[in-house]
Amino acid sequence: GESVGLHLPTLSVQEGDNSIINCAYSNSASDYFIWYKQESGKGPQFIIDIRSNMDKRQGQRVTVLLNKTVKHLSLQIAATQPGDSAVYFCAEKSSGDKLTFGTGTRLAVRP
Amino acid sequence: DAGVIQSPRHEVTEMGQEVTLRCKPISGHNSLFWYRQTMMRGLELLIYFNNNVPIDDSGMPEDRFSAKMPNASFSTLKIQPSEPRDSAVYFCASSRDRVGHTEAFFGQGTRLTVV
Per-residue pLDDT tens digits for A15-50:
999 999 999 998 888 889 999 999 998 999 999 999
> Is B93's pLDDT higher than 70?
yes
Q: Which residues of B touch A5 (CB under 8 A)?
A: 38-40
Query: In this complex, do B43 and A44 lie within 8 Å of one another by their Cβ atoms?
Result: yes
Tell me: the pLDDT tens digits for B7-43?
999 999 999 999 999 999 999 999 999 999 998 888 9
Query: In this complex, do A49 and B85 lie within 8 Å of one another by their Cβ atoms?
Result: no
Hey, is the C-beta of A101 within 8 angstroms of any chain B C-beta?
yes
Q: Which of A10, A9, A14, A27 is nearest to A93 (CA)?
A: A27
SS (H, E, C) A47-110: EEEEECCCCEEECCCEEEEEECCCCEEEEEECCCCHHHCEEEEEEEECCCCCEEECCCEEEEEE
Query: In this complex, do A101 and B40 lie within 8 Å of one another by their Cβ atoms?
Result: no
The alpha carbon torsion through B60, A87, A56, A96 (nearest 10 deg) reads 10
d(CA A56, CA A65): 5
